[in-house]
Structure 1
């Protein structure tokens, strides 16, 4: 229970941190991320997964794609699938590297999430 509580706080912090950055995104992608994030909060995992996957498939490697991989990994983690979660977190780190953003803050959260799933 304590770990779940701690993970909830990390999730909230990351969501709020990146929520501020949503205004810099194109309107459509920003709206998609906001909808997916809300679906995740409401535990509507199938819908959240579908939206995050659309963002990943329709975008070049970037911080936004890394964020979508992070959140998709979170969905898998909440569905008790740590292997798929870990794969998504690793894909997020790869997206950051490809975009030349390896030192972006989301990378720290992705790396931490990978460690937690091991």
Structure 2
């Protein structure tokens, strides 16, 4: 798994053309905590360079830095797969049908 993470890091570091689309699946899961802490800044650098980045993530710190979110549900497992809400962090936090919204609202209050 670590070699896959290293490969992905090299690939992302070589992206020098804007308008690339990148989808990362739980990039904070598995790496050493120091490496995981660097991932959000690397993702933001990709966006700042003109790329589109989608991240599948459950880590609260990573989620609270997102520009836009898609809340899936309504539950987990076989009861999942529907888009419940999409929008900014604040829109997700205010949505009554989003389980993520409740957690996100509390996290946003802590960071303000």
Task: Place the TM-score, normalised by the shorter chain, in its bin.
Answer: 0.3 to 0.5
* Bigger strand fraction: 2
Q: If you compute each CA radius of gyration, which structure gives the higher value, 1 or 2?
A: 2
* Bigger helix fraction: 1
